[in-house]
Structures are given as structure tokens and as C-alpha cells.
Structure 1
């Protein structure tokens, strides 16, 4: 078979990475610091037959490049890269392996596991030191030359202080939704169906956070078990929306772009969970799909004294090398693509501390973080770090630089512990204030703490009050996967029960934890379905469950509907009272001019808490006085004075309401009275009233001044 070289091939340019169509041909540019040559392989429309192979003619600044005439959007292609196959030196070039272009905007087909995907001979005694000559082209997706750029969407830029995040999964949120047409369920188009938008809008959240949607790989080990990589944390195409979530398989990018536009029309943001800490190629025994064959030594962090092996700070086999200029550029280019061409409003960075790890450890001035801070596009987006990984010094909560927000697992752990009786007021108090002990430095504000009780990883809220132990048998790992440190409580029975008293307590504890989340300073994040008690039957690591375990079940119980209404009410109150969502950290400083304190901790006797009470109190109050906010920056409703009581004791407490300055206290919310609705606001109390606070409950009062 011959592969004729196009006679009008030109040198093109090295600055437009990937494949760029200009109206009469396509410019290709591929980075590799260690390759000797790069071939562009063209395929027919079904991607099965290689029709031409063209070597890029020029090499400038470590970039192979060339312009090929008469190519058009929709053309399928892949890369073959030549160079040394010397694993001990960190090089794994093998031109027998068709490679995905890292900058490809779309893929046709899915990966088919086959020995030909590996650069070495499977079963060879020398393992990855051997060399495999099988052609991998029949088994790997093909890249698609994209049409010219479209930049129709612009980020909404909702203020951080107003932000409420709703974490969900593109497929799982609509797969069982009876209001979404069958052909759209589980897709980008389904996620922006009017019934879905109306529902999300009705909750009162401002932003959805999507689990990974960039093209990812299903590991062979899961496929052999009849499972799948449901969460998607195994990326291979960082510019390509995964086709599995597309109703229109011919143009997933257009469908995703349209989805973002529909969310923006509803004044809802779209945040992407992204995985730039590793790729789907695994360790030295993993397949050669893209980066490993393009320039293994540049794209991955290798063991310094043994380049055959990979640094594994991710637990997945490899770690992306963001100490390299071109790799940082690649990640920044990818982020800008999703923001500028798709309109995405922000990113949540999986294992984010890895992105800031330099040779001497985590560095707040790491190259990647500096790029994000100065980039005219990225600097204005919502950037959220998962601030931990398994590498050395991997736990970095609170240590990211200004302009970043971070998942705060200490909020999760403390709130769960408080409501199951394992933590006291002293532990919970800073979490209610946006964790200033962690984040109040370098001019950072309270919104930097992304507060959550549950996320995709771990128990759902309902399971957190229904199970003492994980139940992951269906994952096929003999129950060894998933955390054993769940800080959960089943309140007497493991799993579902007909005991009415246990069920009543479980639902109240759900309301308590949601109230703590939504009435705390910082940025709250809800897990989709928690608002009505979704369960995963005790599975706390449903990463491989693309089925009813993970999919949202919209057939809710009566108590679930009540919880949803209660959640909507809490979010409405959070929006109504700016004192519940301040940007700056609240203080206990006394304002002599106004004779008030911005925040005051109150004990059950109605007086300010004494120091000796903190370490044992499980029932206490927090009074917030909005009048202490400087008048020049007050919002509507800022003058409100609110009083929140939290009681995690297993007994009721007689609580004396604090002095009301001639006004009266109005009860806004009581987690022991979930169905009271607006009628609860009729409960008005004179000052010095002793109020019976039910065991394990939260109350919120507003001060009505005369």
C-alpha cells in the first residue's frame, strides 16, 4: 500500500497547535521535544481505512508543522510519531501505534481494547522493554478536523458570594427522568431540556458542576467485570466532549455548546470537573494512545533516577508533567478553548495540588498557578481546586493563592461529626464562618471555602444517615475500595427500615446538615439528588456503576418531596439575607458607634458564650447583625439580624432567646417542622422568651425591629 505525498504540501506554522482549517487546507502543528518525525495519517469516512500518510515537513521550536491543501472539516486523521524506543531513557516512540492528537476537537468511535494498543509485546518476558510492531489503527478512535472556531457563548460571571453549586453527572441526572424524551436522556441535549432547566432553576442554585465530560477511556479491567468508568476520571481527549453523552454523535461539540447557551439563558453557570493531573495511558505497562507516543519524557513526570518508571502521585499510574512549559501551555490552551469557544464559566480541578507541585513540593507560585492568575481569560473564571492528592505534601487545603476557591473537606467532616454527636461547638464554629482558620490570609475571602457535606465520591446525604458501613460489593473489588472513614450513622438499623422513629430522625438529620451547609459562610455545594434523599444503597464509591445505583431516581418518597421543598426554602432564605453569604470574613469585633457586634455566639441561657463552654457545648446559637456592614457596601436586606440555633444533643434544650433590643424574634425555619411552610413565619416571640429546641434540630430567627 502506498501513501503518496501531496505535491502542494507547505511548511505551515508552528503556533496553531492541532489541526486548523483556513478555507483551503489544514495546518497541523504537533509538539515533541524528542521525536525525529511526525506523520499525519488520513482515514476514510468510517475511520477504518488509512488513505494517505504525510510527513510534516518542518520542525520549529520543538514543534513539527505543515500545511496540507484540500483537506476540510470532518476529515478523520491520526498521528504516527517516530523516535527512539528506549524506555530506560524515558522514550517510548513507536510509529506502529496510531496516536490521538492532543488538540483534537472531536473523536470518531470508541477505544477497542486489543494487544496492538500497547507499545510493547504483551506477555514478553522483558515486558515494556520489548517492542511491538502491530498496527493499532483499527482499535483507536480517529481525530476529526474541526470547523472554524465559534465563539458565541460568554461566561456569566455570577458573583462568588451569590454562588450555589450543584454537582451532577450528564448521564445520571437525566437517564431516569420521565420528563425528558427517551432519545435525549443521558445526553448534553437532555441536560438542557426545558424540564431539567426549570427544575434546577426552581431549586435556587446558580451553577451546575459536571463530572468529567472530556473524552475518556473505559479501562479494560472494568470492561472485563461488566462495569464501566462511569465518573469519567480517565481523560484522553482534553479538547473533545465525550461522544457517549451526545444525542448528535456527528457533532458533540455543537451539542455541548448549545447546552451551555441554554444554561446561560436561564442565568445558570456551567462548571466543568477537569482532570489534568493524569491521563488514561497508565504506567509503563499501560497502552500507547497519545502522549506516551508523542513525547513520554516531556508529558509525564518520571522517576528521576529511573526514567522507565512513572511518578504516581495520582494513584492512576502516571502524573502529568506541569513542570514543562509546553505541557502548561497545552493545559492552558485546553482551558481557554472550553471557556472561549464553549462558554464554560469555570473549572473544578481534580487532585489540584498536583498541578502546583514543583520539584521541591507544592508551591503557591507554581508555573501553572501563575499562568492562570495572569491569563486574561482564565483569571476571570471560577477556578476551584480539589486541594489534595496522594503525593508528598499532597494535602493543601487553604494553601492555594488568591482568586482560587477550594473544596473544604474539613467542613464536610466536622458537620457530619457534629450531627452524629462526635464534635462540639468549638469545632463547628469556624466552619460556620467560612473556615477563617484555614482561608483568611493573603486577602482571600470567605467564598474561597467550597463547603460540602457530600459529593460524587462517598455516601449520598440519605446514605450518610442510613449506613454505618460502605456496601460496595457490586464494584467487584471485594469491598476493599471506597473509604472506611465515612463519619456516618445509621441510628439503629443498617440501611432501609420500617421503623418510623428511625426514619423520622434520618430525615431530620438530612435537614440539619443541609441547613448547616446553606446557612454557613462560604460557597455551598449540593450533590444532585440530596435535596430529595437520593440513595446509592450504601455504595460510597460508585465510580464504575453506570446503572440505577448512580442514576438519579426521580420517583421520590413523600418525605423526599418535603425535603426538596425545605431545601428550596433554605436557598430562598440564603438569597434573601446577604448576611448569610458575605464575601469578607465576619468578625466578633465590637462596633462602638453602633453598639453592636457583627457576630455573637450565644449559649442556651441567652447570654454570650463563655470560653469554658466551647469544648463541651452541643447546643449553641450564632447571632449575625448585618448593620455592622459598612453602609456604603450594603445590599438590600443587609440590615437584617438573624439568630441560628444548632442542637445536636439527643435531648431537647430550653433555649432563652437573646435580647431583642425592643423588637421581636420571628421564627423563619425549624428543621423539626419541615412542612410548616410560610405559616412558620407567624411564630413571633417577645424578647426573653424561652424556646424549646427539639433534640437534633436547627432553627433560624429574624429580628423584627419596631
Structure 2
């Protein structure tokens, strides 16, 4: 006979004590909540114990014989009322929204569904197909954090599995896991590039949608969350979630931060005909946004079936508690919020002063980490680039698009390109933010890889099983004359040069640079620009593709080194004419300051600019020549020396050299030149 008592209302979830385990769950409209205990390798149900209803919709129970490792779940009984959004069904085992660990696999079956009334068609028990919540006592993270300033940050967006799945330098059992990411060979690779932070695609426990599994596919990216607290167990070598902490600690020891991509906009429970897995069976109308006319309909601002109701205090608390847990216990340094507009939207629309933003801004833990928004979703008023409050950073797709268009050869792009290179002050300065609030990128997990951007004019997503109807149709891409793979050396050379051109633009722009993993390996997805379900060689990085004539490891490394030496990219504010230290100057091909006529010349495809530090007496001259014809330009007078020193070019046969007055540009090329005092005040040579 299990000995139990009333229990405590705080904290939610399970908490381990010397004499047993406390369980607390929020289910305000339930008539009864039952704690179900399981044991053994096949998780046989050991007991069902009614919980105690407490003030404020909480249910508690203290089980004296329970210990760490105990497996459990909840069953909630109550009304089934479609019009009111109530789906209570005691036949459905529910995952604890606050559990920190799970055990067992999720299996799709009709037993999970709850959109029919309880009766003949909805009495099947789903426990056999559900993972079980596991009592786990986490230990706070104790490693030293790099605390890299935004001005020094270079982000590498990668997938836990895809990054190392084929890396033979790593033991086979560690490839594609958290531990694989902290192996010496991978860390050395990141350091060679100059990376200071990895941004991991979702690492919170997720499942694949049934429409994918029926086609033999999987949700590879992971944007289908099952638990906001549990690391994805498939990324653990031994099923031990502390491996995530080990990964973070090892990366931190090498001065690499860990940012995780989080999905607080929807869950794997999907829409009205989705499965009942956790929150839906406990407090459906509180956790999810719904309409009621004449029956409840899930608001779908995500395109995934449901939308988290961040307006509800208990949902807001869940999200904040989850974020704090990943910082304090898992050791992460920041978050990239998927479809972040949803977290600032109430019934009246997006609000930069939403309670979610206020809760973050006053939290002593979360104010110390990096916060990055994907500032759009598919809901009303969903595009909110530039509207997030300080200190948020935002993925800048306007930067991505204009750089792609410029190097594709589109006319009339110079004014827009200059804004983005300057840090997008038109987007961020209005609310006292600076250029470092812009996350600049050329490609991400979503869309073409950089290699495919110059190899495909059209998406090729047939392998996704959606008749090539998924994914964006406008990618501002081009194929250099041949669609897809080719052995033509001229086309291969041209594609590599154009990728380097885009990378020169990225690293010579104000803002925080980010690249997608595989950019440096010339990774191709064979034209698939929506490889979310391709858990195979399409998405996995091909480490055998390391070849100096094709990969971009050395160009990226060189560009990051140049960038890191220039103070102009560390300046946190936008530069205007009255700035006493920094200057931004734009020139035409005659070496003169750009006129209005120059800016509005739609045929002009050459952008020349100087970024100068007047105190350090150093400046960088960047030349971006997207025209495919050779052009000789006059260089502006070097401000701090007798001539400009060319230190980098996408030109294949480029050699470092000095250019006093003019430069012959080859077609579609990018150049970086420096001017600085030959000696510092202490007499040492200037780098």
C-alpha cells in the first residue's frame, strides 16, 4: 500500500524530497486528476492514485515511497464539450508539462485522438503508446560561461544530428549526438572558422507528425515539441540527459556559447483532430488560443494546427520557467525563438510591450542571456521585423534577400543594400537599438543552402512528398547556367566565387554575422529548400567534401579574422555624420562621394564604401562588384596612409598588394582593402 499525503502546490511538476516525491499539476476545470505510477522495463502501470484538489486549480499529491527514476503520468477527468474546448478523457495518459525527463518511445495510434466524445469510439487507453514522465532531480549548471559580447559574436546555426552524423573522426556511437558536438575534431573545426556561438535547431523533446511517418519520413528539424524541459533523447548516447550539460560545459571550456532554437508557439498536440498528449488534456483553453463560433476552433497562426496562448498566466509561467531552466540547469547562453511574433500577440495583435516581453525584461536570469527573434509568423500582422523591444536581436531577412538579389545581378538594389550593410538603422534605430540588433545571414536551415543558391533557380522538393508545393518559391537564386550538379570547371569556379562574394558582404556588414552549418563545406541539398523531413544525406553534412578548391573554410576563417581586427564592427551605435570617431562613406567608381544620381542609377551594380575609425586611424575599403564585366575604378584617397592595401578578394589569383589610386575589378568580384598608420603609439607593427 503506497503511503501518500496532501502535497505541496510549489513547484509544479515533480520535486524530490528525502522522504518521497511531490507531484503538482494545473488542471482548473478537471473534476478529477489521477497520478499513474509505472514500473519495469515495459512501464507496466503499477497504481492509480487520486490527487488532491487545491486552491487555484492546482492538484497535488506526495508519494512517500517514490524516488528519483519513478515513472508516472496523469489522467484528467471532466466534461467533454467541444463548444467550450473541453476534452477531458481519463483514458488518455498525459505527459507532465513540467517533467524534466521522459522514458519510452512515442508511437502513433488511434488511441491518442480525443476529438470525438468519450464513448464507443474514444475509450481506448493510450498509455502503451506514450512515453512516461520520469522523476529527475536536476543539478544546476556549474561551468564557466564565455559571456561573449554581441560585438564579438559569430553564430553557426546547426542541427545536432546533421552536423556530425558523417564525421568519421568521431566515434560511431557519438555521431549525431550532443556528445558528438563536443568532440575535439568538431570543436577544432568551429575554432578554425572563428565561430563564437553555435545555434542549435530544436533540442527540446519532439515527435514526428503522423502525416510524415505514414510516408516513411521524419520531422528532422524538430519544430514539433513534446516537452519544453526535456532534451531530445534521440540525441543522447546512453539516454542520459546530462549529456546535454556535458556538451555545453565542453563547448564553454573552448569559449563557444550555446544558443538553442525554441518552439513556444505551438506543440505536437496540433489542431482539433490532433493527439491528446499533455496540455490539451489538462487545461486546453488556457494553454491554447481558440475561437468559439459555434464550436471551439484552434487559432492557427503557426501553420501547425495550434497556437500557444501566451496571454494565459499559467502558460506564460510555463514558458518563463522553461527558459530559466535551460539557463540555470542546462547551461545555455541564449535562445532563438521560432515564430517569435506569436509570443507578443494578444487578441488585439502584436504588442512590443506584451506581458511576455515584460516578464523577460525583469527576470534576473533571462536578462543576462542572448535573445533572438524570428520576427514573423503566418498570423495577422505577422511580419514584425524591427518591432521587438531592446535587448532583442532579430533575424534580418531583408538583409538576406537584398544581398542575394544584388549578387544575382538584379538592378536597382544599391540603396537597399547600403541600408542593410550599415546595420538597418531604418528598422532598429527607432526604439534605441543599434546595428548589433540585426542578425545578418545569407542562408539558414530554412531555404536553399548557400551552394544551392548559386546552383538552382527552382526548388526541387519532390522527396518531401508534397508534389513540390512546399517551401518558398522565390529564393532570389540562380544556377550560373546549369540547373543543379555539374562537372563543368568554369561553372564550379563561378559558383564558388559568387558564394565568397556574398560572404565578403556578410562579414563586412554592420550587425551580427550568422552562417548555416555546411556553408563552409559547400553543402548541397540537391535543390530542396524545405528539407525539414529529410533525415538523411540530403541534410547531413558531408565531411568528405572538404576540398580547398571547393569548400569555403579558409575564406570564412580569413574574413572573420579581418572583421575581428576592425573596431568599426564593434561599435554598438549607428554612425551618422556628426559622429566624432567613426565614419561611413559611400563612393562611386570615380572615387567620388555618391551623388543622388549615382544612388538612383539602376544599372549601377558596384557598391564601394569606407568604414573608418578616426581615433584608431584605421579604415576598411570594401568593393562589391556584381556586374559581370571588368571595370577599372578610381580609389578614394586613403585617409591614414599613402595607399590602400588589398588584403582579400574573391578573385581566384588574388595576391596581397598595395594600390595607390586605381584598381581593375574582374567581373562579379569582391574586395577588401585597409588603410592604417604603419605603427601604433608603442612602435609595434599594426595588424
What range is the shorter-chain TM-score in?
over 0.9
CA deviation profile, 1:272-311 (whole Å, cap 9, x unmatched)? 0000000001111011000110111111000143452100
Q: Which of 138, 145, 166 in structure 1 is aligned with 2:128?
A: 138
User: In the alignment, which residue of structure 1 is the partner of 2:684?
Assistant: none
Shift of 1:555: 1.3
Task: Map 1:300-315 to 2 at 5 A.
Answer: 300-315=288-303
Q: For 1:129 and 1:469, how far apart are their aligned partners in 2?
A: 50
User: Is the contact made by 2:575 and 2:582 (CA closer than 8 Å) also made in structure 1?
Assistant: no
CA deviation profile, 1:235-266 (whole Å, cap 9, x unmatched)? 011100111111011x2x21001000001000
User: Is the contact made by 1:274 and 1:348 (CA closer than 8 Å) also made in structure 2?
Assistant: yes
Q: Which of 650, 664, 668 in structure 2 is aligned with 1:671?
A: 650
Q: For 2:179 and 2:366, how far apart are their aligned partners in 1?
A: 26
User: In the alignment, which residue of structure 1 is the partner of 2:197?
Assistant: 207
Q: For 1:156 and 1:557, how far apart are their aligned partners in 2?
A: 29
Task: Map 1:211-360 to 2 at 5 A.
Answer: 211-249=201-239, 251=240, 253-360=241-348
Matched, 1:652 2:630: yes
Query: Residue 374 and residue 269 in structure 1: after superposition, are their counterparts in 2 closer, same or farther (change >3 A)?
Result: same
Q: State which drifts further: 60-69 or 390-399.
A: 60-69
Shift of 1:583: 1.6
Query: Residue 177 and residue 597 in structure 1: after superposition, are their counterparts in 2 closer, same or farther (change >3 A)?
Result: closer
CA deviation profile, 1:521-558 (whole Å, cap 9, x unmatched)? 00111001101211001000000000000000011253
**Which SS does the other structure have where 1:61 is aligned?**
helix
User: In the alignment, which residue of structure 1 is the partner of 2:18?
Assistant: 23
Shift of 1:48: 3.0
Q: Which of 552, 556, 563 in structure 2 is aligned with 1:567?
A: 556
User: In the alignment, which residue of structure 2 is the partner of 1:538?
Assistant: 527
User: Is the contact made by 2:621 and 2:673 (CA closer than 8 Å) also made in structure 1?
Assistant: yes
Q: What is the TM-score of this pair, normalised by structure 1?
A: 0.93
Query: Residue 308 and residue 697 in structure 1: after superposition, are their counterparts in 2 closer, same or farther (change >3 A)?
Result: same
**Which SS does the other structure have where 2:468 is aligned?**
coil
Q: State which drifts further: 443-452 or 265-274.
A: 443-452
CA deviation profile, 1:653-690 (whole Å, cap 9, x unmatched)? 211111124522110111113x65xxx33x0122xx21
**Which SS does the other structure have where 2:47 is aligned?**
strand
Shift of 1:120: 4.2
Q: State which drifts further: 66-75 or 540-549.
A: 66-75
Q: For 1:258 and 1:26, how far apart are their aligned partners in 2?
A: 26
User: Is the contact made by 1:653 and 1:693 (CA closer than 8 Å) also made in structure 2?
Assistant: yes
Matched, 1:684 2:663: no
Q: State which drifts further: 305-314 or 522-531.
A: 305-314
CA deviation profile, 1:367-404 (whole Å, cap 9, x unmatched)? 11111111111111100010000100000000000100
User: Is the contact made by 1:664 and 1:704 (CA closer than 8 Å) also made in structure 2?
Assistant: no
Shift of 1:564: 1.2
Shift of 1:106: 1.1
Number of residue-to-residue matches in the alignment: 674
User: Is the contact made by 1:120 and 1:129 (CA closer than 8 Å) also made in structure 2?
Assistant: no
Query: Residue 442 and residue 531 in structure 1: after superposition, are their counterparts in 2 closer, same or farther (change >3 A)?
Result: same
Matched, 1:108 2:103: yes
Matched, 1:705 2:683: no
Matched, 1:390 2:364: no
CA deviation profile, 1:609-658 (whole Å, cap 9, x unmatched)? 11111122211211111116xxxxxxxxx542111111111112211111
Q: For 1:317 and 1:120, how far apart are their aligned partners in 2?
A: 14
Q: For 2:134 and 2:484, how far apart are their aligned partners in 1?
A: 48
CA deviation profile, 1:147-167 (whole Å, cap 9, x unmatched)? 253332354321011111100
User: In the alignment, which residue of structure 2 is the partner of 1:432?
Assistant: 421
Shift of 1:128: 9.3
Shift of 1:587: 2.2
Shift of 1:37: 2.1
Q: State which drifts further: 39-48 or 105-114.
A: 39-48
User: In the alignment, which residue of structure 1 is the partner of 2:595?
Assistant: 610
Q: Which of 451, 460, 473 in structure 2 is aligned with 1:471?
A: 460
Shift of 1:443: 1.5
Query: Residue 128 and residue 397 in structure 1: after superposition, are their counterparts in 2 closer, same or farther (change >3 A)?
Result: farther
Q: For 2:284 and 2:413, how far apart are their aligned partners in 1?
A: 51
Task: Map 1:62-141 to 2 at 5 A.
Answer: 62-120=57-115, 132-141=122-131
User: In the alignment, which residue of structure 2 is the partner of 1:176?
Assistant: 166
Where does the alignment leave 5 or more consecutive residues of structure 2 unmatched?
679-687
Shift of 1:603: 0.7
User: Is the contact made by 2:393 and 2:439 (CA closer than 8 Å) also made in structure 1?
Assistant: yes
Q: For 1:339 and 1:407, how far apart are their aligned partners in 2?
A: 22
**Which SS does the other structure have where 1:214 is aligned?**
coil
**Which SS does the other structure have where 1:256 is aligned?**
helix
Q: For 1:268 and 1:512, how far apart are their aligned partners in 2?
A: 27
Q: For 1:513 and 1:396, how far apart are their aligned partners in 2?
A: 25
**Which SS does the other structure have where 1:100 is aligned?**
coil
Q: For 1:395 and 1:444, how far apart are their aligned partners in 2?
A: 19
Q: For 1:483 and 1:115, how far apart are their aligned partners in 2?
A: 33
User: In the alignment, which residue of structure 2 is the partner of 1:491?
Assistant: 480
User: Is the contact made by 2:617 and 2:677 (CA closer than 8 Å) also made in structure 1?
Assistant: no
User: Is the contact made by 2:201 and 2:221 (CA closer than 8 Å) also made in structure 1?
Assistant: yes
User: Is the contact made by 1:11 and 1:58 (CA closer than 8 Å) also made in structure 2?
Assistant: no
User: In the alignment, which residue of structure 2 is the partner of 1:631?
Assistant: none
Q: For 1:183 and 1:256, how far apart are their aligned partners in 2?
A: 15
User: In the alignment, which residue of structure 2 is the partner of 1:124?
Assistant: none
**Which SS does the other structure have where 1:271 is aligned?**
strand
RMSD: 1.7
Query: Residue 93 and residue 584 in structure 1: after superposition, are their counterparts in 2 closer, same or farther (change >3 A)?
Result: same
Matched, 1:642 2:629: no
Q: For 2:221 and 2:263, how far apart are their aligned partners in 1?
A: 11
User: Is the contact made by 1:520 and 1:581 (CA closer than 8 Å) also made in structure 2?
Assistant: no
Q: For 2:187 and 2:617, how far apart are their aligned partners in 1?
A: 33
CA deviation profile, 1:197-233 (whole Å, cap 9, x unmatched)? 1111111011000000111011111111111000000
Shift of 1:33: 2.2
User: Is the contact made by 1:420 and 1:488 (CA closer than 8 Å) also made in structure 2?
Assistant: yes
Q: For 2:145 and 2:14, how far apart are their aligned partners in 1?
A: 26
User: Is the contact made by 1:387 and 1:395 (CA closer than 8 Å) also made in structure 2?
Assistant: yes
Q: For 1:392 and 1:130, how far apart are their aligned partners in 2?
A: 39
Q: What is the TM-score of this pair, normalised by structure 2?
A: 0.96
Shift of 1:47: 4.2
**Which SS does the other structure have where 1:451 is aligned?**
strand
**Which SS does the other structure have where 2:670 is aligned?**
strand
Shift of 1:451: 0.6
CA deviation profile, 1:10-65 (whole Å, cap 9, x unmatched)? 22211201011012211111012211221111101324310011122241222111
User: Is the contact made by 2:606 and 2:627 (CA closer than 8 Å) also made in structure 1?
Assistant: yes
User: Is the contact made by 1:351 and 1:388 (CA closer than 8 Å) also made in structure 2?
Assistant: yes
User: In the alignment, which residue of structure 1 is the partner of 2:606?
Assistant: 619
Q: Which of 431, 435, 439 in structure 2 is aligned with 1:450?
A: 439
Where does the alignment leave 5 or more consecutive residues of structure 1 unmatched?
122-126, 629-637
User: In the alignment, which residue of structure 1 is the partner of 2:683?
Assistant: none
Q: For 2:646 and 2:18, how far apart are their aligned partners in 1?
A: 66
User: In the alignment, which residue of structure 2 is the partner of 1:365?
Assistant: 353
Q: State which drifts further: 331-340 or 101-110.
A: 101-110
Query: Residue 222 and residue 562 in structure 1: after superposition, are their counterparts in 2 closer, same or farther (change >3 A)?
Result: closer
